[in-house]
């Protein structure tokens, strides 16, 4: 008898402690104050895409580049998505600028040894590839956050007049997923 009551008390304590524990996902700072626009569609990443480059589809249509994602990202108006996309743009620009380093070395260097040029050239390629991978990971993070925002439940309220009675019909709904 004492063992059963002790187990019952321990069970209720553990349930109470577990219920009061706050997870990071339950933090209200992650919720939007404005609803997600209903016309936005999910972004799909093509199978076989790599960290060197991804192929994206929006509304079933193939996008020519990750820069085409700027419009849905802008319409979502999420600070995390905007931050990741801006980081992608900055890092991609830096990646392209590193390709100019060997040219600058040739034009500005008085000491044109073959070994030094190939070191600069190889370093430029390595830096460009690294920055490209970092940029693509940033746009992938933006796409992931964008799709997470679209998956959030949408709650709706409607009030429409009924034609036969002239009264108003009130409805409440919730939509999950895309």
pLDDT computed for residue 130 by the predictor: 93
Closest CA to 142 of 87, 93, 92: 87
When pLDDT is cut at 50, 70 and 90, the band that residue 79 belongs to is: very high
Which one has a higher pLDDT value, 112 or 176? 112
pTM value is 0.66
* Residue 25: CA count within 13 A, CB half-sphere: 3
Q: What is the mean pLDDT of residues 50-63?
A: 84
Q: Which of the residue ranges 19-33, 37-51, 88-102 has the most confident prediction, judged by mean pLDDT?
A: 88-102
pLDDT computed for residue 114 by the predictor: 76
Least confident of 94-98, 103-107, 127-131, 168-172: 168-172
């Amino acid at each position: 008898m004492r063992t059963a009551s002790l187990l019952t008390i321990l069970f209720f304590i553990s349930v109470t402690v577990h219920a009061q524990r706050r997870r990071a996902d339950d933090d209200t700072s992650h919720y939007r104050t404005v609803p997600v626009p209903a016309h936005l569609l999910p972004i799909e990443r093509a199978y076989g895409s790599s960290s060197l480059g991804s192929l994206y589809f929006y509304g079933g249509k193939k996008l020519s580049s990750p820069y085409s994602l700027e419009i849905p990202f802008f319409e979502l108006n999420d600070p995390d998505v905007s931050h990741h996309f801006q980081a992608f743009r900055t890092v991609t620009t830096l990646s392209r600028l590193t390709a100019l380093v060997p040219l600058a070395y040739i034009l500005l260097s008085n000491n044109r040894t073959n070994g030094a040029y190939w070191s600069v050239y190889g370093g430029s390629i390595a830096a460009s590839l690294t920055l490209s991978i970092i940029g693509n990971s940033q746009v992938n993070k933006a796409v992931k956050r964008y799709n997470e925002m679209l998956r959030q439940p949408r709650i709706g309220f409607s009030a429409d007049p009924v034609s036969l009675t002239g009264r108003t019909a009130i409805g409440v709904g919730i939509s999950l997923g895309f």
